[in-house]
Structure formats: C-alpha cells, structure tokens
Amino acid sequence: MRPTLVSTSPPPASADLWETLRTEATAEAAREPALASYLNATVLAHDSFAAALAYRLAQKLGGADMNALQVRDVCMAVYAARPEIVEAAAADMAATLERDPAARSGLQPLLYFKGFTALQSHRVAHELWHQKRASLAWFLQSRVAELLQVDIHPAARIGSGVMMDHANGIVIGETAVVGNNVSMLHNVTLGGTGKTDGDRHPKIADGVLIGAGAKVLGNIHVGEGARIASGSVVLHDVGPGCTVAGIPAIPVGGTCVNPANSMDHVFDVASFDPGI
C-alpha cells in the first residue's frame, strides 16, 4: 500500500512554488554574488521544481560509487512515474515554512535543511522499493544515513506535509507509517521492541507532533492530533488529541489544537486528571 500523498489536480502546488523559488534565487544571487553560481546551478538553470529537486538530491547523494548524474537520472525517472511525489515535496516545503520560524524562504529547505533533503531522498527510495529495486533503494538509504544522520527504512510509508526539524538522529523502521501534516524533531525513533518479524513499528496518524528525543516503540497507534513530549518513551496506543509524556509515557495536561502546526510543546501538568 502506498502512502497517501497530496492531490495532483491542476494547477499543481509545485508550479507556484517553483516561480517563488526562482524569484528568491534571483534576488539572493544579487544580494550575495559569491553564491550566484551556486544558485544558478541549483535553481535558475532548471525548468521545474522537480528538476531542481532532483539536481539537489543528486549533488548531495552522488559520490564515487554512483555519480551525481546517475542519481539525478534515477530521481527524474521516479518523478516522471509518480508526479505526486513532487507535490508531496512541495507540501513538505510549505509545512516547513509554516512551522519553522528559522525558515524565511523556500530556498532554505531546498538547499540547506537536512530534514527536508532526507525526506525527499526517502520518497525516491520508497518508490524504488515498490518497483522491486531494493538494492538501489538501500543504496540511497545508506547514503542518507551516512551523510545526514537520518535512517529511514525504504519501506516506511510517509504522507505529505511532513516536517523533520533539525532531523539529526531520526530513525524510522520498516513497517512504520507516518500520516499527513506530521511534525517531528531530532532524535525521534519510530522503532520496534525486539526481534519480532512482521508489522512491528508505530502507526502515526495525521497532525501528530513528536518532540525531540521521543521514542515510539512497537506496533502501536498514535491518534490524530496527538502530542508526544520530548524525551518520552511511548509503549502503548495514544488516543486522538491526547498529550503524553514520561518514561513510560502517560497522558498529561490537556489537548492541543493542531499541535503539528502550532509546534506547541508546552502542557499544563496540573490539568491532568488521572481518572481519565
């Protein structure tokens, strides 16, 4: 089963995004001439968001064993086969701009944010996995883990509008599912609990916020709009709209409206009713 991605009904969001990126790149090249060649190569020399994204991933992941041109060709073939992946990338960028106060232009996620780069690399690897090209999917996955310190199994299913803030140390297992409009910070683990085969990793519903260092373990469900506090270890299902914290995590505080969008990590322990 494929992840649920954004609609590709015209006009695609990536088209408007692309015009914005070109405008930003032109202005930035004028402000900082030392980066003019770089901005031309990464943005202005291309005719679409898909082409610029493929070039960026290729420059990051290419190396001695598989050069940048080969990686770019792989990415472009994937985008041609499944253009909705490009739209998911556009939704991821929009999510980053909406939720991360450090992001002041679309150029930042595209060129500099490792969470965005790692997620887009995973989207390509995931499609290759479904094409039964597991070796190539693993190659891209290992390059991302080596270069960006983000380890996502190629089979993991991830929706659109996802933000991985900072992203260092994020680990997502093979049978994990991440819904749409999810936000997670660095050192998050969506892992298993042992050597059990089969469906063994968490299922994260839409709109969930997962704080830095949180560990969600086992084939459990985290409900829509839930919030997991930083440093928590979650071993049981979390209900929709619930806030959990602690080791092991238990319900605390009250509900938070749209936590993945608000990025609100503050909760009121005093309001927790242990009888819930």
User: What is the structure's pLDDT at 72?
Assistant: 98
Angle subtended at Cα 144 by Cα 139 and Cα 145, rounded to the nearest 5 degrees: 95
Q: How much is the pLDDT for 44? A: 98
Distance, CA of 235 to CA of 233 (rounded, Å): 6
Report pLDDT for 276.
Answer: 42
Q: Which domains does the chain have, with CATH numbers?
A: 1-150 (1.10.3130.10), 170-276 (2.160.10.10)
pTM of the predicted structure, to 2 decimals: 0.91
- The predicted pLDDT at position 171 comes to 98
Segments of the chain scoring below 70 in pLDDT: 1-12, 268-276
* The pLDDT value given to residue 253: 74
